Each structure stands twice: as C-alpha cells, then as structure tokens.
Amino acid sequence: MLNSSKVVGLPLPRIDGPLKVTGRAPYAAEHFAPGMLQGYALCSTIATGRIAEIDTSEAERMPGVVKIYTHENRPKAARRDEKWKDEVAVPGHPLRPLENDRILYDGQPVALVVAESFEAARDAAALIRVRYEAGEPHTDLFREQANSYVPPVLRAKDMAPPSPRGNAEAAFAQAPHQISAEYSIEGEYHNPIELFGTTAIPAEDGSLMIHDKSQGSQNSHDTICKIFGLNPDKVTVRNSFVGGAFGSGLRPKHQLFFAVMAALDLKRPVKVEMSRSEMFYLTWRPSCIQTVSLAADEQGRLQSVMHHALEATSRYEDYQENVVNWSGLAYKCDNVTMSYEIAKLDVSTPGDMRAPGAATGITALEAAMDELAYEVGMDPLELRVINFVHRDQNQDKEITSKALHACYREGAARFGWSERSHEPRSMREGNELIGWGVATGIWEAQMSPAEARVSLSAEGKVVVSAAASDIGTGTYTILGQLAAETLGVALSEVAVEIGDSRLPTTSVEGGSWTAASSGTAVQVAGRMIIATLLKHARKMDNSPFAKATEDQVELSDGRLVLEANHQLGVAVSDIMGEAGLTVIEEHAKVEPDKAIQKKYSAYTHSVVFVEVRVDEELGQVRVTRVVDAVAAGRILNPKTARSQVLGGVVMGIGMALEEEGMVDHRTGRIMNHNIAEYHVPVHADIEDIEVIFVDEDDDKASPIGVKGLGEIGILGVAAAVSNAIFHATGSRIRSFPITIDKIL
Ligand code: MOS
C-alpha cells in the first residue's frame, strides 16, 4: 500500500521552491515599511592609517539626506569586546564600525549616509570629503611569512593540529619515494546572490523587527541586543529566506549594526544594503601558503606526512581554521607532523567559506598525493585505495562509518577510470589534451545542540517551528519530510516555520550540521507527540494499546497503530477528541551524545573524478566531466542533497580555475572588487557533473543517521582539477587558481 507519509529519502522538490521562483520569498533587503529610510556606507580608500579629517557639510546639503554618521558623531554602543562577540566570533577585537579614526583595511566603512532614497544616500556619500593619513600597507602573505605566529587563542579546541606522531622527518629521509612541494591559494571572496542587507523597523511600543541576511537569526539577535543594550524580548530578527551564504552569513555584518543604529537614533525604519563591491570588503577565504611533504615505500604505502600551512588574518582578529589536520587522518600513516600559523595583514578578517580550512588543506594534500603517485609510478586512485584507514589516527578513535571504498569503486566505474592511461599527455583529441584526475574529500559530520517545536492537530495538520535557517540548502523541506514521516501525514499537511529568532533555539546554519541537529530535534519532538497520543489512547475503552510501549507504535495516515500490525489502530482525531484536545504540541531539545563522541569521530567522505580538456595552443581548460561519489550517511532527500553537492563542485571548479582575489600590494587595495573582474564559474563553464550517493548506514554520527552535505561537495574538487591538468599537460601548477597564463 502506498503510504503518503513515507517521504524521507524521496527526491522531493523544495517546499519553498514556488515562493522562491515567483518572487514571494523576500530577502532581508526586500522588506518595506512606511517612511523607511535608506542607508549607504562610504568605504575607506586606504588599507591602513587614519582619518585626518572628514567633511560631510556638502553631502548634508544634498536633498533627501536625513543624517550622516561618522566616527565623530556615532551614537553610543557597547565598548567591551565581549559585547561585540557573536556566536562564531574568532579571538581578537571585533571591528566596531565608526568607533574611531583608525583604518584597518581597504573598504572599511567610514561613514553612513541615511536618506529618504537610496539614490540620495549614495550620491551624498560621493560628496563626503575624507582626508586620510595613509600608512604603509602590508597585504602580501608571501612577504609577511617572517611575521607568522601560532594562534595564541584557539577558536575551537579541535583547531590545533594534533601533536606529531612517530618521526616524520626520519621516516621521510629513509623512504625510497619522496615529494615535497609548496602550494599557494589566493584569497577568495564570497559572492552569494543575495547581498548583505538589513531592514530594521521600530514600532510604537518600543519593539524592533529586523530582517537580516544571516545564517542565524538568533546570532544576529543576541549580538545586536548586546551591542545596543536592548531588551532581547523586544527585538526580533528574521531571516526567512536567504539567497546563499556558504559561511559569509555566519557572523553578523556591519550593515546590521548600521541599520539598527540609525533606526534607533532616528526612530524610523532603516534599510542598509551593501553593494556588490562591498562584498569584497567583508569576509573572505584567506590566502594560504602550504608545504606538503610525503614519502612512501616501494609499494606506495605512506611512510611520512608533513604538512605546514600559513594563512592570512587581519590586524584586529585571529581568524583561524583547520587546514592541516585532515592530512593526519585521510590516510594510514604512522609518522605525521602538522603545523599551522597565521600572519597579520592589513585586510578585513577572513571568514568561513564552504568547508573552511578543509577546502584549502585538502587541495594541497590531494595535489601532493597525485605527485606521490607519479613518483612511485602508481595509479593515483590505487595509491589512495592502498592507504585507506578505518580509524581516526589524529584522535586515536574509532570512526562511526567510512564507506569510502564504495565511493572509490562506484565513482571509478561510473567515470570509466580503468580506461585511463597513466602517462601525462597520453590522451588527446585533436587540439585538446585530455586529463583525468582524482582526489578524496573529507569533512566532519557534526551535530550541534538544537531545539524544535512540533504540533499535530486533530485534523492532521502539522507545524514545525525552529529558529533554523535555510540558506538554500533545503532545510524547510527536509524538516517537513521528517515531521511528515514521524507523524504519519503527507508532506502537504506540514507547515515549516524557521528563520525567526523567537522560535526554538538553533545555532547558526553552518558546518553541515543543520540536518543532523534540527532534523533530530524535529524527529524527537514528533516522537514526543506519539508518546502523548499513546498515553491518551491507553485510557480509551478497549484500547489496543493497553500494553503497548512507545517504541511499538507509530503514526500512519492519521492513525496511531501498532508497528507490528497496522490493522490495530485508532484515529488521531478520536484519541484527541476523547482527551478533549484539538492539538498536541511538544518541544524537543537535543544535543550530541557525549559517550559516542568520546569513543568515535564522524566524517563524511567523497571521491571526485574530473576530466579536463586543455586547448594546447590557447591553454584554455574546460572541465568536461565530473563524477563526485559521496558517503554521507542517510540521504533525507536525494534531490536537495544532489543540489548541494553540485553547488559544491561548481565552487570547487571556481577555486581551481577562476576565483582570485587580486590586491595591489603597493596600496593594499582590492583591485577586482566586482564580478566582472573577479571570476566565478558561469553556466558556460559547467558541463557534465554526476553525483553518486553510496549506501552508508550510520547510527552514531547522529540519531537520524545523517552526516550532512553542505561542505563535502567542494572538497577534493580543486585538487582533482589540478591533477587532471597535470595528466593532460604534464605540467604541475601549484598556485591556485590555475589560470591560462600559468598553463602556457
Ligand atoms: Mo559553512 S562555511 O559552516 O556556512
């Protein structure tokens, strides 16, 4: 019998899809209120120094201008760093817009113009005269290598590289096969479709409604309340719909501060939306210089792994991420040293960007593995297969599951890897050199504490509520599916409300943990509803449930039934009617199981196969085929899951070939702060991408068997592309992105 409620695991379209494609899913800057003002930020044109003089008199005379804020007249805000630290802040002193005359990076906001129209605000900003005293900028990571340091305060306890194991130097020296190389990656800038924007709407009663582009409404809420000393109960932050984020929206951005500052000061609704070029002055994936040394025995077994990374951070904060630790757990190896340092530059604080750290570190590791394969004279896939390890050697723990062999096998079969000829430049078609490359991907399968409220009405209507965000990942849909299945109703009967700080507590949507965390909370709340129904059903006359326990019953098509015999059941409406209830509502609170965490590590895994075709005369690279085989535990929705991996692969292709922040180190200014000159893959750059999810049962990574998918798609992609370019052309290019000039 077709059961309409068995919807987990089906490739269902997003339930918010029709709203998004018909323009009824407003982003933060698409909300309006009567009398709303527009704010426009003026950004610094130096990278370091101070504002000697700022003259706003001419700008103030522009018709429509209401007020101009600079460091000389900025309203009061918190002074202590702690008040400015958000849920995912990094160590250091968070930037406080317009706090003083100091300039710490190119594009730092130096004034906010608030006007009756966007045009008036923007034009007035152009009339502000700023006299700077510029210092000498230090923005070149290569030149600042001498000033590197180990982050003194860690952002998370697993950020530090594990202590060395074995003796990597000695093992390296003795091994018959060695490679050692330096890899560099330029900074990458976040460019989601939705720009950062905030609409702040004060009400007569002193309450404040804020629509903010964010990956966590409660993070924005709590931070802005601390900064302005606001009563948290009077402030609501919503992020109902988010036009992409990938990490850029984890920390609140200065437009939130500006919109709220002006709304409170002027007692009018205020909107501040950044321009596309301002996106380049915000968070970015830090530039990185890495050295990887690998050694293997005659059979290709790894004898030594040494990985060092140096990343950029800002003057004011110690941004840090896990770049090198992956090299200690990707493959079996007993002699490992990993180190990680950062160096201060006159730049804005870097931030998380899809698979932060891993995307950078695994690019170097997996490119180095390819170099080792050629040094040993071995197929690059085979080298990975023989170094497989089913244990977390970094933490000396078991791992919950690792269906990576299935990824290798199924991915290779689908790609046709066995047809590959080993020698570089050995495959061609006409003018095109063809190259095939492979790389492995790893990401943590994490769960964060999460709460959810679920209600079921006598008519079978379900409402799911949580502060969770949907940054384009499909959160609405998968939470709806889990509720529908748990409560035995069709997905169309479920309403999902998320993206609102008043709803049950949820951390930012990041780290690929939302499905595992909020999904578990929804399922637990659903099971609590079943328990309540059972309690009432037991009291009914001739109840078939008199002796039934909670785990023997389930909801199916509007009836509470015995799992073992669906014939025996009672309609939910009858149970509620008898109990005098119209709705049952439960609130669940879940967190990761500490006992499991103590014993196990959990990771998602993938393998990426890439075909490139390189025009021999023009050096132009096309990525003509990608097969990404992923082991991510249970897949709740193959359609939204596939979309996430596709997006990750596209970002990986951008990392490999196009995305390149260019800074003029003489001025410290970003030169290509627009998407005409900062290239990202467009449709014409993307050809055939196939995503495979291999079967992987895991009851420990999270209670619902989910490992998370937001990050895994980008991992390994840039390395696989570079390895394919080597296979096609015979030249090893170790600086990313691999642009045409480097190939020719
Ligand atoms: Mo992800 S970079 O944690 O949004």
Of 560, 591, 622, the domain-final residue: 591
Helices within 377-506 (DSSP H only): 380-386, 404-415, 475-487
Both 431 and 580 in one domain: the answer is: no
Ligand 1 atom closest to Cα of 352?
Answer: 2
Span between the terminal Cα atoms of the chain, in Å: 62
CA distance 50 to 346: 13
Both 396 and 459 in one domain: the answer is: no
> Is-contact 702 633, C-beta < 8 A?
yes
Q: Give me the domain span that covers residue 209.
A: 31-136+192-275
Of 591, 615, 645, the domain-final residue: 591
Is 181 inside a domain boundary? yes
CA distance 578 to 647: 50
Both 45 and 91 in one domain: the answer is: yes
Q: Answer yes or no: is the C-beta of 284 below 6 A from any ligand 1 atom.
A: no
CA of 652 to the centre of ligand 1 (A): 15
> Is-contact 308 290, C-beta < 8 A?
yes
DSSP 407: H
CA distance 717 to 440: 9
Both 110 and 197 in one domain: the answer is: yes
Angstrom CA distances, 269 to 29, 35, 36, 76, 88, stand at: 12, 7, 5, 19, 28
CA of 351 to the centre of ligand 1 (A): 9
pLDDT at residue 474, as a whole number: 97
Ligand 1 atom closest to Cα of 471?
Answer: 4
Q: Answer yes or no: is the C-beta of 510 below 6 A from any ligand 1 atom.
A: yes
Both 483 and 565 in one domain: the answer is: yes
Both 455 and 561 in one domain: the answer is: yes
Is 1 inside a domain boundary? no
Which residues in the chain land under pLDDT 70?
1-3
Can you state the angle between helices 217-228 and 254-266, rounded to 10 degrees?
50
pLDDT at residue 1, as a whole number: 41
CA of 713 to the centre of ligand 1 (A): 12
Both 415 and 464 in one domain: the answer is: no
Is 704 inside a domain boundary? yes
Q: Answer yes or no: is the C-beta of 511 below 6 A from any ligand 1 atom.
A: yes
CA of 535 to the centre of ligand 1 (A): 41
In 404-473, at which residue ranges do the beta strands (DSSP E only) sit?
428-429, 432-444, 450-457, 462-465
Told to judge if 711 belongs to the known catalytic residues of this protein, a careful annotator would answer yes
CA distance 311 to 353: 14
Is 12 inside a domain boundary? no
Both 268 and 231 in one domain: the answer is: yes
CATH, residue 47: 3.90.1170.50
Both 464 and 581 in one domain: the answer is: yes
CA distance 157 to 154: 6
Q: Answer yes or no: is the C-beta of 353 below 6 A from any ligand 1 atom.
A: yes
CA of 246 to the centre of ligand 1 (A): 5
Ligand 1: which of 711, 712, 714, 715 to mutate, judged by most atoms within 8 Å of the beta carbon? 711
Is 551 inside a domain boundary? yes
**Gyration radius from the chain CA atoms:** 27
- 600: which residues sit within 8 A by CB, 6+ positions away? 397, 398, 399, 400, 700
ipTM summary value: 0.97
The continuous run of DSSP H or E covering 614 comes out as: strand 603-615
CATH, residue 528: 3.30.365.10
Is 552 inside a domain boundary? yes
Ligand 1 atom closest to Cα of 249?
Answer: 4
DSSP 603: E
pLDDT at residue 4, as a whole number: 72
> Is-contact 639 647, C-beta < 8 A?
no
Both 320 and 425 in one domain: the answer is: yes
pTM of whole model > 0.80? yes
> Is-contact 685 623, C-beta < 8 A?
yes
Burial 177-190 (b: 16+ CB within 10 A, else e): bbbebebebbbbbb
> Peptide bond preceding 161: is omega within 30 degrees of 0, i.e. cis?
no
Both 388 and 439 in one domain: the answer is: yes
Our count of domains for the chain comes to 3
Both 182 and 207 in one domain: the answer is: no
Q: Answer yes or no: is the C-beta of 356 below 6 A from any ligand 1 atom.
A: yes
Which residues make beta-bridge pairs with 295? 178, 304
CA distance 485 to 488: 5
> Is-contact 42 128, C-beta < 8 A?
yes
CA of 510 to the centre of ligand 1 (A): 4
> Is-contact 425 729, C-beta < 8 A?
yes
Nearest residue by C-alpha to atom 4 in ligand 1: 247
In 121-194, at which residue ranges do the beta strands (DSSP E only) sit?
129-134, 177-185, 188-189
Backbone angles phi, psi at 106, to 5 degrees: -60, 130
Is 354 inside a domain boundary? yes
Q: Answer yes or no: is the C-beta of 247 below 6 A from any ligand 1 atom.
A: yes
Is 572 inside a domain boundary? yes
- 606: which residues sit within 8 A by CB, 6+ positions away? 407, 440, 441, 442, 628, 629, 630, 631, 632, 712, 713, 715, 716
Q: Answer yes or no: is the C-beta of 246 below 6 A from any ligand 1 atom.
A: yes
Of 223, 251, 275, the domain-final residue: 275
